[in-house]
Chains A and B, each alone.
Chain A
Amino acid sequence: MNWAAVLHLALMALWRNKSRAMLTTLGVIIGVASVIAMVSIGAGAQKRIAEQLESMGANTLVIRPGSVTRGGVRTGMGSVTSLMRTDAEAVRDITGVIAVSPAVRTSVQVRYRGANWGTVVEGVTPEYISVRNWPLTEGEFFTEQHVVSADHVCVLGQTVARELFGLASPIGETIVMKGVACQVRGILSVKGASAWGSDEDDRVVAPLTTVQRKIMGIDYVDSIEVQTAGREATYQVMGEVKKLLRQRHRLLEDQPDDFRVFNRAELAKTSEESAKVFTWLLGSIASVSLLVGGIGIMNIMLVSVTERTREIGIRMALGARRRDILWQFLLEALLLSAAGGVIGIFFGLGGAVLLSRFSEFPVSVTPWSIVLAFSFAALVGIFFGLHPARKASRLQPIEALRYE
C-alpha cells in the first residue's frame, strides 16, 4: 500500500470540504476537551484527598471509647469514659507500634492581652508530633517532663498564632485559656484544611495532664492515636490492641468492646476509592459527548461515500483494490477524529487551567487522561469510520461507475 499517497488523497478530500470537515471535527473537539477537563477535576479531588490523608499521618490507628450496654441501655459512641492514659502506655508495648498519643480536646476561648479567639485545645504527649507527622516551624514542643508536672505551657497552630499575635512572634508570651495561663513554646507548621473541610491549624496544643486536670477536670482520655511501623503492621497491631484493651477493661466473653479502633489507612483507601469513582463518573459522562462526536463523523462519512460513489467507481476502474478504497475513507475518518483529538486536548487543558484559576476546584491534569482521551477519539474514528469505509469498498466497480 502506498501510504503517503493514500494519506494525501484523504487530506485532499477533506480539504475540498473544509467547512464540513471542521464542523464534523467540532463534535470530537468538544468530546475530548470535556473528557480532559472533567478527569482533571476528578484527579484534582483525588490528589487533594491523598495529600490530606498523607498529612494526617497514614499508618495510624485511632482508638476511641465505644458504646456500652448497661441495664439494657446502649449509650452513644464516645459517651463512655473507659479510655485511660495507662491504656495508651500499655498499647505502646505492642510490637509494631512506633508511637502512641493519648489526647483530650475541648473548645476554649483563648485570650492574649486585648485579643481573644475561640478555638480547640488539645491535651497530648510529645509523641503527638510523630503520630500526626506534624513538625514545628518555630520554637519547641513541650517535653515528657512538662506532661508529668502538668506545666502551663502550650504550642499554637498557625491560625491561632495569626489571630492573636498577627505578625509578632508568640514564643515566650503567655496566653490564657479558661483562667489557665500558658506560656507559648512553639508554633506548628501549616497543615491547611482537613479532608472534611475544617481548619487543622486552628488549635492550641498543651500537655495532656494540664488540659485534663486544670482545664477540663477529667482523668480519662478522648482518644488514643497509635502510629504503626507500616501499612501491613497496622492490621496486626489492630488485633493486638483489641485483645489488650478487652483484657485491661476486664470484659467478659459475651460483652461487646467498650472502645472502637479505626484504621486511618483504611479510611484513606475508602476516600481514595470514592474519589476515583468520582473521576471515572465525570470521565464517562464526558465520553458520551465524544461518542456523539463519533456518530457525527459516521454520518458525514456515509454522506460522503454516497456523494462520491462515482469517484469510487473511477478509482476502481483505474486499479484501486477494495482495501485502497477502505483505507482512503477510514483515513479520512481517522484524520477527522485525530484532528479533533489534538485540538480538543488544547481546549481541555485550557479549560482545566481556567477552572483552577477562577474556581475552588482543585484541578490536576494527568498525562494518562490526555492519552486516554486521544486514544478514545482515535478509536471512535476507527469504529465509526469503518462502516462507511467498508460500504465504499464493497461497491461493485461497474455499479459505482454507473451511479448517477
Chain B
Amino acid sequence: MTREIIKIEGLHKTYALDGVQVHALRGIDLVLEQGEYLAIMGPSGSGKSTLMNIIGCLDIADAGRYWLNGQDVTQLSGGQLAQIRNRELGFVFQNFNLLPRTTALENVETPLIYAGINKRERRSRSEEMLKLVGLGERLYHLPNQLSGGQQQRVAIARALVTQPSLLLADEPTGNMDSATSAELLTLLDKLNTEQGLTIALITHEADVAARAQRMVILRDGRLEASS
C-alpha cells in the first residue's frame, strides 16, 4: 500500500500589499504519495513558489488543510515546524541559498547541527553525501569557488543529509545551462529510482517536467490539469 506524504485540501493564500489583495492560491487540492516524482508547472506569477513555500512549512496558508506524513501541519507551533523542516523536508532553491563564506562541507553539516547530531557523525554523513552528489573532491571549497551546477549539488547534498521523506525543489535548474541542468536532473532521477526519494519540483521547462512521473499545472492559483 502506498503512503501519502502530502495531502492538501482547499488551500488558500492571499497577500496584502499596500491595500491590494493578491489571491495567490485559490483552493488547492493535492496528494503526493511516497516515491512519487511530481513536476509543478505554470506561468509566472501563478503561485507555484507560494505553494511550495507552504508545503515546505516556510509559510502558512490562510485557509485549508495540509497533512504531512499524516500530521496536521496547520496545528503546529513554530518550534515544531522548524523540526519538520529539519527532519522531514529537504529544500533546493533556484538561487542555491548556500551559506556564504562557509565551506561545502560545513554547509552540508548545518542541518545536522540543528538535528543535534554530534560532530563526528555530522562530518562523516556530510562527506558521504557530498561524495554521492559527486563533490567528494570539493569538500573545503567555498560557494564562490564552485560552479553553479556544483553549488546546486551542494544544496542537494545539504537537503538530503538529514534523510528527509520529501525533497522540494523550486526551479533548481533555472540558473543553469542545459548540460549542467541535464546532469543535475540525472542525479534527481537516480535518487528517485534508486533511493525511493519523493520529489516535488517546480519548473518552466517541459523537458524537465517530462522526467517526472506526474505533472500538474498551476494557473491563477488553481491546479488545472494533471497527467
Contacts and interface: CB of A to CB of B under 8 A. Distances in A.
Contacts of B99: 311, 314-315
Contact of B59 (A9, A315, A319, A398): A398
Nearest to A15: B101
Nearest to B115: A319
Nearest to A310: B97
Given A315-B110, A398-B53, A398-B59, A321 B97 contact: no
B113 interface: yes
Contact of A318 (B59, B100, B111, B119): B111
Interface stretch (B25-33, B85-93, B126-134, B171-179): B85-93
A9 B110 CA distance: 10
B82 interface: yes
A310 B143 CA distance: 15
Task: Bin the interface of chain B by size.
Answer: 20 to 34
Which of A6, A317, A322 has the most CB atoms of chain B within a 10 A radius of its CB? A317
Contacts of B98: 314
Chain A contact residues, majority secondary structure: helix
Contact of B82 (A1, A9, A316, A398): A316
Contacts, number: 67
Task: Bin the interface of chain A by size.
Answer: 20 to 34
Interface of B: 53, 56, 58-59, 78-79, 82-83, 85-87, 91, 93, 97-102, 110-111, 113-117, 119, 158, 162
Contacts of A318: 85-86, 91, 110-111, 114, 158
Nearest to A4: B119
B166 to A, nearest CB: 14
A319 B162 contact: yes
A314 B92 CA distance: 11
B23 to A, nearest CB: 18
Contacts of B101: 16
Interface of A: 1-2, 4-6, 9, 12, 16, 310-311, 313-322, 324, 397-398, 401
B150 to A, nearest CB: 18
Given A2-B116, A398-B53, A398-B59, A317 B78 contact: no
B129 to A, nearest CB: 14
A401 B91 CA distance: 12
A322 to B, nearest CB: 6
B100 A319 contact: no
A252 B193 CA distance: 117
Given A4-B119, A5-B119, A397-B58, A317 B113 contact: no
A313 B78 CA distance: 14
Contact of B111 (A319, A322, A397): A319
28 contacts: A1-B116, A2-B116, A2-B117, A6-B113, A12-B102, A310-B97, A311-B99, A314-B97, A314-B98, A315-B99, A317-B91, A318-B111, A318-B114, A319-B83, A319-B85, A319-B86, A319-B115, A320-B82, A321-B78, A321-B82, A321-B114, A322-B78, A322-B79, A324-B114, A397-B58, A398-B53, A398-B59, A401-B97
